[in-house]
Amino acid sequence: MKEEYPDGTVIDCDSFYDEALFKIYGVILNENSNRIDELYAKAAQELDAAKSTHDVTEAYYTKAMDFDALDKMCHKLMKI
């Protein structure tokens, strides 16, 4: 595979491929690739859980919060 860039530079990616090294490290590379996919999926799950927790917490404080008083205080502080 060759990549050509706007400045005319061409990089032959196949020139970096070494069959002997791939035979040695191919399994490890595939395992690492699979692990990365697993970790991305886990990260997405954790973000979903964090968002759910945030939504529950937000439901409590939005009911109890006096946003008009907060706005007045912010405007007062901005005048100082």
Tokens at 31, concatenated: 């395992």
Instruction: Give the number of domains in the chain.
Output: 1
pLDDT at 80: 73
Between 15 and 47, the higher pLDDT residue: 47
Domain ranges, residue 59 = 2-79
* 50-71 average pLDDT score: 92
Contact 12, 2 (CB under 8 A): yes
| Other Cβ atoms within 10 Å of 37 Cβ, number | 10
pLDDT at 40: 98
pLDDT at 11: 93
pLDDT at 1: 85
**pTM value?**
0.55
* 28-32 average pLDDT score: 95
Average per-residue pLDDT for the chain: 93
